[in-house]
């Protein structure tokens, strides 16, 4: 094998590892309309709420609040196999980074790329759910 092929494999390895650990890729659903989100999360049961339309997705157990017609507040479940820690955001397709705040009850990042806030909540040493605020606080 050529040295250039080996180097390319090593450089691409982290992105392949990240992709394998993604449970729900928030880039495919955050800021999207309900019809687009349903393609990824399946059928939903929706109702009006104080802030906008709230939809519950049976397949993943996730809940999304649509503000101004787009997925804005995401409560992402189905993370039972994800370890609670700074790398938990890789389960939603983001790269591990240092959190803004962390304790035994929550790990929080603020202003990560296009996201205002990302909070990870534990169930023992695993992730119970991840809460994402896309556009509004």
Give the pLDDT score at 53: 97
Give the pLDDT score at 40: 93
Give the pLDDT score at 137: 80
pLDDT digits over 46-103, tens only? 999 999 999 999 988 999 999 999 999 999 999 999 999 999 999 999 999 999 999 9
pLDDT digits over 5-27, tens only? 333 333 333 433 334 589 999 99
State the average pLDDT for the chain.
Answer: 87
The whole model's pTM is what?
0.83
Cβ–Cβ < 8 Å for 64, 74: yes
CB within 8 Å of 47: residues ≥ 6 apart: 53, 54
Give the pLDDT score at 20: 55
Query: From CA 57, how far away is CA 73, in angstroms rounded?
Result: 14
Which of 90 and 136 is assigned the larger pLDDT?
90
Give the pLDDT score at 11: 36
DSSP result, the chain: --HHHHHHHHHHHHHHHHHHT-SS-GGGTTT--HHHHHHHH--EEEEE-SSSEEEEETTTTEEEEEETTEEEEEEE---TTSBSSGGGGGGGT------SEE-SS-EEEEEETTEEEEEEEEETTEEEEEEEE-S--
Mean pLDDT over 114-130 rounds to 97
**Total number of domains constituting the chain:** 1
Give the domain range for residue 45.
3-133
């Amino acid at each position: 094998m050529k040295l250039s092929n080996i180097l390319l494999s090593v450089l691409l390895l982290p992105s392949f590892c990240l992709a394998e650990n993604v449970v729900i890729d928030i880039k495919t659903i955050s800021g999207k309309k309900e019809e687009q989100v349903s393609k990824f999360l399946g059928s939903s049961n929706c109702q009006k709420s104080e802030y906008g339309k709230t939809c519950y997705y049976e397949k993943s157990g996730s809940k999304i609040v649509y503000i101004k017609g787009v997925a804005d507040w995401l409560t992402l479940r189905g993370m039972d196999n994800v370890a609670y820690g700074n790398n938990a955001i890789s389960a939603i397709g983001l790269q591990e980074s240092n959190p803004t705040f962390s304790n035994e009850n929550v790990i929080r990042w603020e202003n990560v790329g296009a996201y205002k806030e990302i909070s990870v909540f534990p169930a023992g040493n695993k992730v119970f759910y991840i809460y994402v605020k896309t556009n509004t606080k």
